[in-house]
């Protein structure tokens, strides 16, 4: 499912994870209330100027898990010709710290991106009250 952005968000240059976390938190808050307690996994495509081209909800999971396989994550990025993507998902528990499964999944997706020549710029986990974790800021993605 593609996410519709505001005209303002379409013009924003994404040069720090806080900006991306703010946009994704707004998108999550706008979702159906019953789905807000489920794990969402989005792929954000950026153009070469780091401006958002597209945001796609790749997976709507359960309370504590979601599906993020390379074929789903990169499908639209490949057809849209994206050079860079940002991965983003929420933790309904509110804790933005990555789980072991998050670390394994991210490593797998970064490798897939290398094969496809699509850079995984970051993976951002959204918690509650503006809390987030950026894998790039924490040194988990180089």
**pLDDT tens-digit map of 1-56:** 556 666 676 667 888 999 999 999 988 888 777 777 889 999 999 999 999 999 99
Our measurement of the distance from residue 73's CA atom to the centroid of its chain's CA atoms, rounded to an integer in Å, reads: 10
The sheet that has 119-126: what strands, in order across it?
52-60, 40-46, 84-90, 119-126, 132-134
37, part of any domain: yes
Answer whether residue 142 is part of any domain: no
How many domains is the chain built from? 1
Domain that holds residue 127: 7-134
Sign of CA dihedral 40, 89, 28, 117: negative
Question: pLDDT value at position 14?
Answer: 85
In this structure, is residue 101 part of a structural domain?
Answer: yes
- Spatial contact of 43 and 85, defined as CB atoms under 8 Å apart: yes
CATH number for the domain spanning 108: value is 3.40.140.10
With respect to residue 140, please indicate whether it lies within any of the assigned structural domains: no
Q: Is residue 1 part of a domain?
A: no
Angle, nearest 10°, between helix axes 100-116 and 70-80?
Answer: 40
Asked whether residue 128 is assigned to any structural domain, the reply reads yes
Q: Is residue 25 part of a domain?
A: yes
- Check: pTM over 0.85? Answer yes or no: yes
Report residue 90 as tokens: 């929420």
Asked whether residue 2 is domain-assigned, the answer is no
């Amino acid at each position: 499912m593609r996410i519709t952005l505001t005209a303002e968000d379409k013009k924003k240059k994404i040069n720090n994870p806080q900006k991306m976390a703010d946009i994704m938190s707004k998108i999550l808050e706008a979702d159906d209330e019953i789905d807000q307690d489920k794990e969402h996994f989005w792929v954000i495509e950026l153009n070469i100027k780091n401006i958002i081209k597209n945001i796609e909800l790749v997976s709507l999971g359960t309370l504590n898990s979601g599906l993020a396989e390379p074929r789903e994550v990169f499908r639209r990025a490949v057809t849209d010709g994206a050079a860079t993507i940002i991965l983003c998902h929420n933790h309904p528990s509110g804790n933005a710290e990555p789980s072991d499964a998050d670390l394994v999944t991210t490593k797998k997706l970064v490798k897939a991106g290398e094969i496809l020549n699509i850079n995984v710029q970051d993976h951002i986990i959204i918690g509650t009250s503006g809390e987030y974790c950026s894998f790039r800021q924490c040194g988990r993605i180089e």
